[in-house]
Amino acid sequence: MADQVKSPTSVATKWALIYTLFSVILTYAFDAMGLAQESPVRYLSMALLIAFILLTQKEYRDVQGGFITFGKAFSVGFRFAVFAGLLGALFVFLYTKVLAPDVFARSLDKAESDMIEKGMTDEQVETAMNITRNYGQIIGAFFAAIGTAVIGAIVSLIGAAIFKKERSPYDFDDAVVATDKIDPTA
C-alpha cells in the first residue's frame, strides 16, 4: 500500500491551497504597495494561476509514472481551477467584507466616478450604486470563481496538450512483469 497512487483530486486540492496562499500574500502585498486594481501588475496573478495549473498537471503526470492521457491532464487542471476559484471566491468575499472593507469602499468610489464620467444620470448612478453596495461583494466573489474556472479550463486544455504522454503497448510496469507467473507451455 506504500505505492498507493494519488487521486487527481488530492493533487489538485494541494496545489489549489498553495495557490490560494500565494494569492492572499500577493493581495496584501499589492495593497501595502498601494497598487491600483487597474495596474498592469495584476497580470502577475494571472501568470501565477497559469503556472499553478501547469504544476498541478505535471505533478499528476509524475505520480502516474510519467504518463498521462489528455483527459486526465485536463481533468486534474480543471479540478485545480475549480477548487482555486472557490477558495479565491471565499477569500474575495471575506477580504472585501471583513478583512479590508476600505478596499471595497475605494472601488465603490471609483465606480461612482466612472459612471458620472460616462454621463449617467444621478438616478442611474444612485440605482447602480445601491445594487453594488448591497450585492457587490457576493457578485465579485461569484465572478472570481466563474472567471477562474473558465480561464482554468482554457489553460488546462493547453496544458493537457503539452503534458499528454500516453503509454505505448510496449511500456510495461516492471512490477507486473516481474511477478507474472504465466506458464508459456500452457
pLDDT of 70-94, one tens digit each?
A: 999 999 999 999 999 999 999 989 9
User: Is 27 part of any domain?
Assistant: yes
User: Is 69 part of any domain?
Assistant: yes
Supply the range of the domain harboring residue 40.
Answer: 8-167
pLDDT bracket for residue 181 (50, 70, 90) = low
User: Is 1 part of any domain?
Assistant: no
DSSP assignment of the chain equals: -TTPPPPHHHHHHHHHHHHHHHHHHHHHHHHHHT--TTSGGGHHHHHHHHHHHHHHHHHHHHHTTS-B-HHHHHHHHHHHHHHHHHHHHHHHHHIIIII-HHHHHHHHHHHHHHHHHTT--HHHHHHHHHHHHHHHHHHHHHHHHHHHHHHHHHHHHHHHHHH-BPPPTT---HHHHHH----TT-
User: Is 74 part of any domain?
Assistant: yes
User: Is 182 part of any domain?
Assistant: no
User: Is 174 part of any domain?
Assistant: no
More confident residue, 160 or 44: 160
User: Is 48 part of any domain?
Assistant: yes
Phi and psi torsions of 68, nearest 5° = -160, 140
Tell me the average pLDDT across 13-23: 95
Q: Name the domain count of the chain.
A: 1
User: Is 70 part of any domain?
Assistant: yes
Q: Residues near 157 by Cβ (< 8 Å), separated by ≥ 6?
A: 74
More confident residue, 125 or 183: 125
Q: Which of 56, 63, 59 is nearest to 3 (CA)?
A: 63
